[in-house]
């Protein structure tokens, strides 16, 4: 009946029910070892500092913190972002910074500005599935850049000519965990510049390095052709829903207009709280704690994979971020296996979800950010047992 009343735009056909949304329903099972989600560890949230910041803000500036604010976001917060990025090698003015509701909103707004039916957008293979979701309703064709373990291959970027942008996650990529080395960044920027292929650089994980900070952003090598997205979700807390988009001025002006039409501005209260937190100078010490915590998780997962999986799968050990990307034997379809895995007490994300065009069906993404080392070991052991069992059963059937 409703279907007859409402006529939907063509783009709604491209809004596939999110695999993540569907999986999250399955993943509510108590006791499940959740290697699937990308949730930061709540143990690492600076809860007390947020409580104190919130109290200060609502005592000192309640009228401002509860009122509408400018679409761009608080100037002092934008200045902080500009200064921070400049320290990391990306020279930026506050006037280029737009505060967004997480970097997910940055993806949506950029897509809204650049993409439409009949255009192409290039992505890594695999890439962040939330980006694929953000791009889909704008009806562009997603095409895949050829990649190796160090990221997109500069010599093959020419295949992407004409795309409205190349979407990159250079630091500890979701899902692969890979980090693009400095030299590759320089090559990608040079090649993209020579082609006139804009870059969309998404960097939620850059601060989550374990041994040494990643190289300067790709944007540093082609600032006038790159839109850079950052987030407070992984360095402070995702529930605040704050991120930022940094772009050359003509793009910035359009993004601000699009942001105003989309939701006026991001939560003023959340912006005041984050600004207050940052001004206490707590961030670097807090990040040291987060890095130690995630590094322990990374080591626990590396150990568990080595113990249980070394004859079954291949993986790289990431130098930061939250994820391992694991390739299982080709006869394993990780999406089909998932319901069984959940029944056996462990979840992961099937690798196929992370491809725009040509999915790998035998890969999985494993997160080491959410669970304790002991539970990571337990989950990996359960998964290994299940994979081993499945291979045996399949080989039995084949005979």
> Among 80-88, 208-216, 236-244, 327-335, which window interacts with its own copies (CB under 8 A)?
236-244
DSSP 25-61: HHTT-TT-EE-S--PPPGGGS-HHHHHHHHHHHHHHS
Counting Cβ atoms within 10 Å, is residue 23 exposed (0-12), middle (13-18) or buried (19+)?
Answer: buried
Which residue's CB is nearer to its own copies, number 186 or number 262?
262
Considering only 4-12, 183-191, 339-347, 358-366, which stretch makes contact with its own copies by CB under 8 A?
4-12
Q: Kindly identify the residues of this chain, within the stretch 201-230, that bind its own copies according to CB under 8 A.
A: 224-225
**Residues binding its own copies: what is the number (CB under 8 A)?**
91
Token pair for 60: 């000192």
Please, which of residues 269-308 interact with its own copies by CB under 8 A?
269-270, 273
Nearest to its own copies of 50, 353 (CB atom): 50
Q: Give the shortest CB-367-to-its own copies separation in angstroms.
A: 13
Considering the rule CB under 8 A, would residue 21 count as an interface residue with its own copies?
yes
Please pick, from the candidates 93, 260, 307, 394, the single residue that binds its own copies as defined by CB under 8 A: 260
Report the C-alpha gap between 80 and 88 in whole angstroms. 13
Stretch in the footprint of its own copies (CB under 8 A) among 44-52, 88-96, 150-158, 389-397: 44-52
Which one of residues 154, 204, 238, 321 is an interface residue with its own copies (CB under 8 A)? 238
Cβ(275)–Cβ(76) under 8 Å?
A: yes
Burial class from Cβ neighbours inside 10 Å (0-12, 13-18, 19+) for residue 179 reads: buried
- 113 is a contact residue toward its own copies (CB under 8 A): yes
- Minimum CB–partner distance for residue 289 and its own copies (Å): 15
Q: Can residue 372 be called a binding residue for its own copies (CB under 8 A)? A: no
264 touches its own copies (CB under 8 A): yes
β-bridge pairing 199-202 and 226-231: parallel
Nearest CB to its own copies, comparing residues 1 and 398: 1
Eight-class DSSP state of 97: E
- Return the number of the residue (273 or 309) whose C-beta is nearest its own copies: 273
| Binding flag, residue 239, its own copies (CB under 8 A) | yes
Q: Which of positions 140-179 make contact with its own copies (CB under 8 A)?
A: 164
Alpha-carbon distance of 136 to 130, in angstroms, equals: 10
Residues across the chain: 399
Q: Which is nearer to its own copies, 29 or 336 (CB)?
A: 29
Identify residues 321-360 at the interface with its own copies (CB under 8 A): none
Is residue 175 reached through a cis peptide bond, with omega within 30 degrees of 0 on the bond before it?
Answer: yes
Alpha carbon distance 105, 112 (integer Å): 10
- Return the residues of window 83-112 that contact its own copies according to CB under 8 A: 100-102, 104-105, 108, 112
Distances (CA, A) of 110 to 2, 21, 72, 81, 361: 32, 23, 15, 19, 30
Nearest partner of 385 among 332, 312, 299, 306, judged by Cα = 312
The CB-side HSE value for 241 (13 A sphere, CA atoms) comes to 9
Q: Which of 96, 173, 268, 362 is in the footprint of its own copies by CB under 8 A?
A: 268
**Closest approach of Cβ 392 to its own copies, in Å?**
37
Binds its own copies (CB under 8 A): choice among 80, 128, 138, 294? 138
């Amino acid at each position: 009946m409703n279907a007859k009343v409402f006529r939907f735009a063509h783009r709604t056909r491209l809004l596939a029910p999110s695999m993540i949304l569907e999986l999250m329903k399955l993943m509510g099972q108590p006791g499940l070892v959740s290697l699937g989600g990308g949730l930061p560890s709540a143990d690492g949230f600076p809860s007390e500092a947020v409580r104190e910041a919130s109290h200060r803000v609502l005592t000192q500036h309640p009228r401002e913190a509860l009122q509408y604010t400018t679409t761009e976001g608080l100037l002092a917060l934008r200045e902080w972002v500009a200064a921070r990025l400049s320290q990391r090698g990306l020279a930026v003015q506050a006037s280029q910074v737009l505060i967004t509701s997480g970097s997910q909103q940055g993806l949506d707004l950029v897509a809204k500005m650049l993409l439409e039916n009949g255009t192409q957008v290039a992505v890594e293979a695999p890439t962040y599935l939330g980006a694929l979701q953000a791009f889909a309703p704008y009806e562009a064709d997603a095409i895949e850049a050829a990649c190796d373990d160090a990221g997109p291959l500069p010599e093959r970027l020419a295949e992407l000519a004409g795309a409205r942008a190349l979407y990159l996650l250079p630091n500890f990529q979701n899902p692969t965990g890979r980090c693009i080395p400095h030299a590759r960044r320089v090559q990608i920027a040079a090649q993209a510049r020579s082609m006139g292929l804009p870059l969309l650089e998404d960097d939620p994980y850059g601060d989550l390095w374990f041994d040494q900070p990643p190289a300067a952003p790709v944007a540093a090598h082609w600032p006038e052709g790159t839109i850079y997205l950052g987030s407070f979700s992984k360095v402070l807390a995702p529930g605040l829903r704050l991120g930022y988009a940094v772009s050359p001025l003509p793009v910035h002006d359009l993004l601000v207009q699009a942001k105003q039409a989309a939701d006026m501005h991001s939560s003023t209260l959340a912006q005041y709280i984050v600004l207050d937190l940052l001004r206490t100078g707590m961030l670097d010490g807090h990040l040291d704690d987060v890095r130690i915590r995630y590094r322990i998780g990374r080591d626990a997962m590396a150990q568990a994979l080595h113990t249980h999986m070394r004859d079954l799968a291949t993986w790289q050990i990431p130098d930061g971020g939250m994820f391992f990307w694991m390739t299982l034997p080709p006869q394993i379809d990780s999406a089909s296996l998932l319901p069984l895995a959940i029944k056996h007490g462990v979840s992961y994300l099937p690798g196929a979800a992370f491809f725009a065009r040509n999915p790998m069906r035998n890969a999985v993404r494993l997160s080491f950010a959410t669970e304790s080392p002991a539970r990571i070991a337990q989950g990996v052991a359960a998964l290994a047992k299940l994979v081993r069992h499945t291979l045996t059963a399949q080989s039995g059937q084949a005979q």
